[in-house]
Amino acid sequence: MKADRTKIEKKARNRKMEEKLEAQLRELAGMIDHTILKPDATKQKVLEVCQECRDYHFKMIAINSCQVTLCHHALKGSGVHVGAAISFPLGQTELNIKLLETEHAIRQGADEIDYVVNLTELKSGNWDLVRKEMDRITRLCHQYGKICKVIFETCYLSEEEIIRLAQIAREVKPDFIKTSTGFGPAGATAKDVFIMKHEAGEDVQVKAAGGIRSLATLLEMKKAGATRFGTSSSIKIMEEARKLLEEGGTL
């Protein structure tokens, strides 16, 4: 009888440990935007990534805006958000075009919008237009109850420009500011994430993207202040996280 009770208690402990591990993995997955933005990705590949999002419970699939309808139908009922990249990856479209693309993506089923700032205007010192762009796109997203993320592409910016852009975000209050497209010469750095979070304030979250290929890098960005992570290495990161937790480590 005592032996049976011991076995039952052991099973209960193991079950609780497994439930705790799965909860931690689910929490991590809920911070990851699983990404498929390659220009040569087939529809079949996009659908495969949709299924991966379902299987791993990722927060969002990050796609080019022309794939919104496909992913909206594939992910219906899953709880996974559809995220459309707008004016991607260069940001070199006029504001009215960005607004049209944003609204069209939302009407097609996008839950989140990641748009690229107009770096030409920023680098030319036209901060009024940069602010207007951020304000108009953020307002449009919020009008529909959707999430707005502003992509800085920090690899092209000086520290002073990153600070000023983050300070504009503090005023405008998009949901997130994001480091990179992943198509520039460099991606996220912990330093840039820290500066962005410090300057944007508590109401604006930071998404780290570009070069997030390992759990170690993700955790470094998380420590710096990021709460969302864009990566195409999501499954590898989840496998690394499971192994770490099974070995008694922490995230």
Residue with the two structure tokens 């076995």: 7
- Terminal C-alpha separation, the chain: 39
Alpha-carbon distance of 173 to 148, in angstroms, equals 9
For residues 233 and 205, the answer to whether their CB atoms sit within 8 Å is: no
Catalytic residue selected from 111, 114, 175, 192? 114
Note the helical H segments in 40-144. Answer: 43-56, 68-74, 95-108, 119-123, 127-143
Concerning whether 43 is annotated as a catalytic residue, the answer is: no
Catalytic residue selected from 98, 178, 197, 222? 178
Alpha-carbon distance of 204 to 166, in angstroms, equals 9
Concerning whether 114 is annotated as a catalytic residue, the answer is: yes
Q: Give the DSSP letter of residue 112.
A: E
Concerning whether 45 is annotated as a catalytic residue, the answer is: no
Alpha-carbon distance of 10 to 174, in angstroms, equals 48
Catalytic residue selected from 59, 149, 197, 207? 207
| Positions marked active-site | 114, 178, 207
